[in-house]
Amino acid sequence: MDKIITIPQKLAKKGELVIIPKKEYEALLRKQKITAEDVLRWTREAKVMKRIGKLPEFNF
């Protein structure tokens, strides 16, 4: 995955939201097999990106 952006929970109100490019989203829909391992991998990637400062924060 190229870019993952996580919206802080206080903005999402119902938990964290992850934004991915539309093409990747459509590919996931075609794949229809999103596993727990996929979600855990995306979460790890987002945490790493945040730690190294490559995950932008949105101020609404």
pLDDT (tens place) for every residue of the chain, 60 residues total: 567 766 776 777 776 667 788 888 888 778 777 788 888 998 898 888 888 988 777 676
Tell me the C-alpha distance between 60 and 58, whole Å.
6
d(CA 18, CA 41): 13
Domain spans of the chain, in order of start: 5-51
Looking at residue 53, its pLDDT comes to: 87
Model pTM above 0.75 = no
Q: Indicate left, alpha or beta for 53 from its phi (over 0: left) and psi (-120 to 50: alpha).
A: left
